Structure 1
Amino acid sequence: MHEPTHRLPPGPRSEIWQTLRYLRDPVGSIRDLGRRYGDLFTLPSLGGALVVASAPEAVRAIFSAEPDTFAPFAADAMAPVLGRGSVLLQHGAAHRRARRLMQPPFHGARMRAYGATMQDSARVHLEALPRGRPVPIEDVFRDISLNVIIRTIFGVSAGERIAACGRGVRDTIAAFGPLIATFRALQREFAGFGPWARFRRLLGGVHDLLRQEIAARDPARPGDDILSLLVAARDESGAPMDEQEIVEQLFTMVIAGHETTATALAWAVDELLRQPGLLGGLREELRPLGGDPDRIAQAPLLDAVCAETLRLHPLIPLVSRKLLRPFEVGGHLLPAGTGLGACLLLVHLREARYPEPLSFRPQRFLDGKHPPPHEYLPFGGGARRCLGAAFALHEMKLVLATLILELELELAAAPARTGVRAATIGPKGGVPVIRRR
């Protein structure tokens, strides 16, 4: 048995050059790193050295490690956006408490209560799609996703209030662009001027809206929305979440769930409209189900299409942590303070697991062929796996089924290339489609 080396794995030296390459071509730059350096390489980063793993055994070691081995990576960069109390930025006992309080509203069985709302929102927004001219379908999916969040997570039902919340959230997310997210030097107020100052003003407005909704809730009589359930939640000592913590967790849900669900749906449409036979097979599967959300969620081919979309187009290419203690991976003993990440993109493109990995082939996931968790992880893994995974997947299936059954679309552009957003990657141009008459 070989002794582990204390040297970091090789990797590119220039952080600026690597960042620029990533902004120009995120998928190509990551695949090139895998070809050049193999299953383990080191990226230079403002948050410290970041070691990136993509071999299945290394990914399994990372996600099965004791949770207290890690803290969030580059938490200081995201704290002004999400807040220190965000579940994404906590670790240790605070993180475990937050997840225990937040998990019950996202239990898979509860998602069925939100199915009708998801379908209703999809029908309203899809029916408003104009005919005869190109429209980025991702923009429509963003509106659907935001409407679902406001109604099921925030619990807002009045039309004017939904519109006000929608404008506030939409403007705030749009103000937090990839340049602000990537270059921390731009995260300065400049005497109240500039993009960061504008983002902070908009964020404050959204926080005020959420505080008003929290004040309107009665913990003794919680509603079905997730905000009401968080207000009523109590930890082991009987203590509730305080107002600021609830505000930060709610905004985290918006950031984590709004753009990601819309992006996944846009990729699915881009792929399906290029395979008419597959699209026809989906219609045949869905038509006899009568619009029943529970039966739709169990449809095998629809499930396989969603799974393959998330495999080929992972929304977050790299999940990163910071080591709080030494950790061995791939023959390297990494010291505390080092960043360690699992590259979901490279894991999902491994030819040994996924033959012809760049081809869209939902058949990979039919007949119970789902791979093990360390080789398919669109929602991350381990103790920090996405809390909203069941919610997001349920929404993706119902919205996609509604579109397939009720609209005839055609693509208005060549296959989409991948571009960088604030914290995710997605199709450039938003997948323009034309609604057929």
Structure 2
Amino acid sequence: MSTTIDPTVAAPPEPPLSELPPGSRLPPLAQVAMIARSPIGSALKLHARYGEPFTMRVPGFGPSVVFSSPQLVRQVVTGRPDVFHAGLANRPLSAVLGRWSLLTLDGRPHLQQRKLLLPPFHGERLRAYGELIRELSEREAAIWPLDTPFRVDERMQRLTLEVILEVVFGISDETRKDALRRLLPPLVESSRHVVFWGKAANFDFGPIRLRETFERRRDAVDELLLAEIHDRRRVPAESLAARTDILSMLVGATHEDGSPMGDGELRDELMTLVMAGHETTATALTWAIDLLLRNPVVLARMRAAGPDGDDDYVNAVCQEILRIRPVVPFVGRVITEPVVIGDRQYPTGVGLIASIGLTHHREDVFPSPGVFRPERFLGESEVPSYGWLPFGGGVRRCIGASFAQFELATILRVLVRSPVRLANRRPEPIRATGVTLVPGRGVKLVRERV
């Protein structure tokens, strides 16, 4: 990249806890263990005990003040980008995503990368991907085993990985594609551990070496991605422009000074799209199937919608899925000068957390929040501004939000036609791993004979 802008922003010193609202006095590792076990339940308990807001400490992050009312959440996610730094808050993701990732940048570098990444997610592009996503979904559903329990999360991870390989990477080399099918899932798993456990992941616990395992897996994937990038650069400009995959569009993109994206930039944005678009969508789909099978009236109406009908209801179902089971439970900012949120001033260096999971489960925001009811998004009641924010908000709102919702709806229209039942009717526990909330048992299904 020809620009001389340093993509990193120096983190300000952490403020003393005495300047922050009250919160749990448990050690950071104990707090993260509590979140892992019951992420939404623990947030609700902390909110009930300490009120709004409260302070948390977890490994790898500085002290963080947690907000959940839509009014205060709005102030956090729409704060001035030169003061409210999302890249600093996401700095623990750098080991996984890289220094040029859209998620870990702030200021002008962030705006530059966002501008380059916007065109592939345009509405017309989404429609072009629809038929391919439907075909991949039908192919996946057709090979589900009969009369034998299987884990939905594993199947959805495989399906969304195929979407990534086709839509994002556009890889035609079958050997390289097979290698990525084999190597990406273990890398995603290692990435969860490194991010979730923070600095604790740097220590070895006998044969468990989280950082070493992650770096070995990351390097193997990087070698394949860089080889694909180099091959794509050799494609003639006319042929490259005719391709629809996101990698080809990024290879052909240029910065304001006319320079192309560097190999490191491309690698980091590809890894960002993998981590933000593969595991998250797979998790949302797994939760969706679990919720639909536990709500037969909603399932019947989804089936009646067919492949192309009743868009409003299908979209409402997807919104309610992302409300009651938000895949990413929070978004954060680190402030680089004192700011006032609500009626209190917060010092430089503190982390401000908009708790998506807590906001979505507040009785005063969504009445009977534990009930799965898509009608909330069909005018049954008004959803408060910044009361529903599974993709964050403000200028840092997830760039792939429209694609994620389109992909979720498109795949669900196919999968609801499958004759399946839950292998276990017990409630599926919510667990935190990495930065996502996943079904604790993976949701097991049985495909029945028709």
TM-score (norm 1): 0.92
Given that 2:356 and 2:390 are in contact with CA atoms closer than 8 Å, whether structure 1 keeps it comes out as yes
Q: 2:193 aligns with which of 175, 178, 181?
A: 178
Q: What's 2:296 paired with?
A: 276
Worse-matched range after superposition: 90-99 or 158-167: 158-167
Q: What's 1:305 paired with?
A: 317
Q: 1:34 aligns with which of 29, 47, 68?
A: 47
Structure-2 change in CA distance of 1:231 and 1:370 (3 Å): farther
Q: 2:65 aligns with which of 12, 36, 51?
A: 51
User: What's the CA shift for 1:308?
Assistant: 0.2
1:283-432 mapped onto 2 (5 Å cutoff): 283-286=303-306, 291=307, 295=308, 299-367=311-379, 371-405=383-417, 407-413=418-424, 414-432=426-444
Equivalenced residue count is: 423
Over the aligned positions, Cα root-mean-square deviation in angstroms equals 2.1
Given that 1:73 and 1:339 are in contact with CA atoms closer than 8 Å, whether structure 2 keeps it comes out as no
Q: What's 2:110 paired with?
A: 95
Partners of 1:111 and 1:373 in 2: how far apart? 26
Given that 2:330 and 2:356 are in contact with CA atoms closer than 8 Å, whether structure 1 keeps it comes out as yes
Q: What's 1:260 paired with?
A: 280
Q: 1:23 aligns with which of 12, 21, 36?
A: 36
Given that 2:149 and 2:444 are in contact with CA atoms closer than 8 Å, whether structure 1 keeps it comes out as yes
Code of the aligned partner of 1:54: S
Code of the aligned partner of 2:219: G
Structure-2 change in CA distance of 1:86 and 1:370 (3 Å): farther
Given that 1:145 and 1:258 are in contact with CA atoms closer than 8 Å, whether structure 2 keeps it comes out as yes
Structure-2 change in CA distance of 1:200 and 1:219 (3 Å): farther
1:148-163 mapped onto 2 (5 Å cutoff): 148-163=163-178
User: What's the CA shift for 1:372?
Assistant: 4.4
Partners of 1:432 and 1:62 in 2: how far apart? 38
Partners of 1:261 and 1:284 in 2: how far apart? 23
TM-score (norm 2): 0.89
Given that 1:411 and 1:434 are in contact with CA atoms closer than 8 Å, whether structure 2 keeps it comes out as yes
1:66-215 mapped onto 2 (5 Å cutoff): 66-71=80-85, 72-178=87-193, 181-187=196-202, 194-215=209-230
Give the SS at the match of 1:430. coil
Given that 2:29 and 2:58 are in contact with CA atoms closer than 8 Å, whether structure 1 keeps it comes out as no
Code of the aligned partner of 2:75: A
Partners of 2:209 and 2:19 in 1: how far apart? 42
Partners of 1:45 and 1:59 in 2: how far apart? 20
User: What's the CA shift for 1:96?
Assistant: 0.7
Give the SS at the match of 1:147. helix
User: What's the CA shift for 1:373?
Assistant: 4.1
Deviations 1:201-232 (A, max 9, x none): 11111111111111122372332100011111
Code of the aligned partner of 2:191: F
Partners of 1:63 and 1:281 in 2: how far apart? 35
Given that 1:270 and 1:415 are in contact with CA atoms closer than 8 Å, whether structure 2 keeps it comes out as no
Partners of 1:426 and 1:75 in 2: how far apart? 20
Give the SS at the match of 2:82. helix
Partners of 1:177 and 1:52 in 2: how far apart? 22
Structure-2 change in CA distance of 1:7 and 1:176 (3 Å): closer
Partners of 1:112 and 1:188 in 2: how far apart? 46
Percent sequence identity over aligned pairs = 38
User: What's the CA shift for 1:128?
Assistant: 0.7
Structure-2 change in CA distance of 1:232 and 1:273 (3 Å): same
Partners of 2:76 and 2:208 in 1: how far apart? 42
Give the SS at the match of 2:100. coil
Given that 1:234 and 1:240 are in contact with CA atoms closer than 8 Å, whether structure 2 keeps it comes out as yes
User: What's the CA shift for 1:176?
Assistant: 3.0
Q: Which runs of 5+ in 2 are unaligned?
A: 1-17
Deviations 1:228-266 (A, max 9, x none): 111111122212211111101101111111111011111
Given that 1:180 and 1:187 are in contact with CA atoms closer than 8 Å, whether structure 2 keeps it comes out as no
Q: What's 2:24 paired with?
A: 12
Code of the aligned partner of 2:221: V
Code of the aligned partner of 1:66: R
User: What's the CA shift for 1:76?
Assistant: 4.4
Given that 1:219 and 1:232 are in contact with CA atoms closer than 8 Å, whether structure 2 keeps it comes out as no
Worse-matched range after superposition: 376-385 or 62-71: 62-71
Partners of 1:189 and 1:20 in 2: how far apart? 18
Deviations 1:385-431 (A, max 9, x none): 111111111111111110112x1110111120101222211111111
Partners of 1:109 and 1:348 in 2: how far apart? 31
User: What's the CA shift for 1:159?
Assistant: 3.7
Partners of 1:369 and 1:91 in 2: how far apart? 37
Code of the aligned partner of 2:278: H
Code of the aligned partner of 2:258: G
Deviations 1:97-122 (A, max 9, x none): 11011111112221111111111111
User: What's the CA shift for 1:174?
Assistant: 2.4
Q: Which runs of 5+ in 1 are unaligned?
A: 1-5
Code of the aligned partner of 2:160: S
Partners of 2:204 and 2:229 in 1: how far apart? 29
